[in-house]
Amino acid sequence: MNIMVAQSGGPTPAINATVVGILELAKRNDSIDHVYGALNGIEGVINQQFIDINQRIHNDIELDMLFYTPASALGACRYQLPENMNDSPIYQQLIDALKAKGVTIFIYIGGNDSMDTVKKLAQYCELKCIEDIQFIGAPKTIDNDLVGTDHCPGFGSAAKYIATTFAELEKDCFVYNRPSVTIVEIMGRNTGWLTASAALSRLNGGKGPDFIYLCEVPFDQEQFINDVKSKLQRGKPVLIAVSEGLKNVQGEYLSVIKGNALDAFGHQFISGTGKYLENLVRHRIGGKVRSIELNLMQRCAGHLSSKTDLNESKLLGAKALQAALDGETGKMVGIHRLSDQPYAIEFVVADIALIANQEKKVPLDWISTERNDVSASMIDYMKPLIEGETKLNYRNGIPEYISLY
């Protein structure tokens, strides 16, 4: 039999480790002939763009390179299957494309949208009594916003990047002995998990960010101004972490409060959350102020992956394939935490219908009572996830990554 893997959604440094986990288990299983990769997620199935992954990986060194390579080596898409299965020929088209390749197991690695795709394909097969193809989801998102799993592969590596970057930005900001404000905007869509990881920069005694504002609570502009003003009184730099998804008390995203901002070409200027707050501080307080977007770097910094994250991601790939071999379909594999310290987890299989299209937010009691920092519970949760450094290979002074197509 043949299996097929596809990847989707935003990049992470951990998404290819899951593929490696699948490849390694498949190799040990005599009943599996080919592990195909669909290019650009489910779109690759529709367009019948496949590769035989093992033909693109010639030795263990290249398999190792795949393990460390950030962003989907099979490409990704942003494609949602239509809701109405009966009226849309795309479902049968997908099943036919898989059958034509002799595929009986399809594993989709991704975030919320990808889990929705797995759910729908499994439901379609149930509806049409198609019993010879199984669909399994493997979680992956730096945003860490999937339910049904303690945390998502990709989060630990992005958190390690953010914690390290804050430890370094602190060194940078504090070289000048005068007040300044540096606002760092962090990804995470509508959840503050990644923003919270800025607090991990304090683990080795660093000051870390002076304030952390998560998007789980409405952003109170006046409190923010007061926070910044009071901290500036000590005459030192102030370092602040903010979620890209911050909303004001009226429920509007800060990033799209446009005022009369026009760019040099007379078009509406859409600033980011960090830029908005930079301008706010400049306007209301003045002085030296700058904003930084960690931008794409926070989701593709393979050179700073968490060993814990990559190892779990690989094991989840094997778990996904094993679940299918055990007869499961319409499921997502996930992580259940047994203990923070010592850190212990087990892998679980969860019904994907309970997972797709939901969003796991930071619990409010993991945010400080002043709503401008995180609590100790949040640190306990995140700390083990950034542990360990990888043995990424460097050549010519830069990391060695692989391309599969």
Q: Which residues are catalytic?
A: 143
User: For a second copy, which is the closer residue by CB, 94 or 125?
Assistant: 94
Of the candidates 26, 42, 194, 304, which one interacts with a second copy according to CB under 8 A?
304
Nearest distance in Å: CB 329, a second copy: 27
Q: Is 141 annotated as a binding residue?
A: yes
Residue 179, interface with a second copy (CB under 8 A)? no
Residue 160, interface with a second copy (CB under 8 A)? yes
Stretch that binds a second copy, among 20-28, 69-77, 82-90, 337-345 (CB under 8 A): 69-77
Taking residue 58's Cβ as centre, other Cβ atoms within 10 Å add up to 9
Q: Are 157 and 177 in contact (CB under 8 A)?
A: no
Give the pair of three-digit tokens for residue 140. 């992956």
Angle at which helices 221-232 and 273-284 cross, to 10°: 60
Angle at which helices 307-325 and 60-68 cross, to 10°: 110
Q: Are 153 and 14 in contact (CB under 8 A)?
A: yes
Of the candidates 103, 169, 310, 345, which one interacts with a second copy according to CB under 8 A?
169
Rounded distance, CA 319 to CA 325, Å?
A: 10
Of the candidates 253, 269, 343, 347, which one interacts with a second copy according to CB under 8 A?
269
**Between 75 and 104, how does the x/- string for binding to a second copy read (CB under 8 A)?**
xxxx--------------------------
- Of residues 236-265, those binding a second copy (CB under 8 A): 257-265
Angle at 298 between CA 292 and CA 299, to 5 degrees: 145
Residue 189, interface with a second copy (CB under 8 A)? no
Q: Are 207 and 264 in contact (CB under 8 A)?
A: no
Total residues interacting with a second copy, rule: CB under 8 A: 79
Rounded distance, CA 130 to CA 104, Å?
A: 11
Give the pair of three-digit tokens for residue 142. 């730096």
Nearest distance in Å: CB 184, a second copy: 9
User: For a second copy, which is the closer residue by CB, 9 or 148?
Assistant: 9
**HSE of 200 in the Cβ direction (CA atoms, 13 Å)?**
25
Q: Are 297 and 164 in contact (CB under 8 A)?
A: no
Of the candidates 132, 168, 346, 380, which one interacts with a second copy according to CB under 8 A?
168
Stretch that binds a second copy, among 19-27, 73-81, 217-225, 335-343 (CB under 8 A): 73-81
Q: Are 155 and 385 in contact (CB under 8 A)?
A: yes
Q: Is 112 annotated as a binding residue?
A: yes
User: For a second copy, which is the closer residue by CB, 99 or 284?
Assistant: 284
Q: Is 248 annotated as a binding residue?
A: no
Nearest distance in Å: CB 326, a second copy: 31
User: For a second copy, which is the closer residue by CB, 74 or 333?
Assistant: 74
Residue 200, interface with a second copy (CB under 8 A)? yes
Of the candidates 18, 40, 149, 273, which one interacts with a second copy according to CB under 8 A?
40
Q: Is 227 annotated as a binding residue?
A: no
Nearest distance in Å: CB 244, a second copy: 13
Q: Is 244 annotated as a binding residue?
A: yes
Structure-derived torsion over alpha carbons of residues 225, 227, 233, 235, reported in degrees to the nearest 10:
-90
Rounded distance, CA 161 to CA 136, Å?
A: 29
Taking residue 393's Cβ as centre, other Cβ atoms within 10 Å add up to 12
Residue 177, interface with a second copy (CB under 8 A)? yes
Rounded distance, CA 94 to CA 104, Å?
A: 13
Q: Is 195 annotated as a binding residue?
A: no
- Of residues 112-151, those binding a second copy (CB under 8 A): none
Rounded distance, CA 90 to CA 360, Å?
A: 30
Distances (CA, A) of 385 to 4, 203, 205: 29, 13, 19
User: For a second copy, which is the closer residue by CB, 7 or 311?
Assistant: 7
Stretch that binds a second copy, among 145-153, 210-218, 299-307, 361-369 (CB under 8 A): 299-307
Angle at 147 between CA 141 and CA 152, to 5 degrees: 30
Nearest distance in Å: CB 217, a second copy: 22
Of the candidates 5, 19, 39, 95, which one interacts with a second copy according to CB under 8 A?
39
Q: Are 44 and 38 in contact (CB under 8 A)?
A: yes
Q: Is the bond into 384 cis (omega within 30 degrees of 0)?
A: no
Of the candidates 46, 203, 348, 353, which one interacts with a second copy according to CB under 8 A?
203
Sign of the dihedral through C-alpha 47, 48, 54, 56: negative
Q: Is 10 annotated as a binding residue?
A: yes
- Of residues 324-383, those binding a second copy (CB under 8 A): 383
Write out the binding residues for substrate: 141-143, 187-189, 244
- Residues at the binding site are 10, 112, 141-143, 187-189, 244
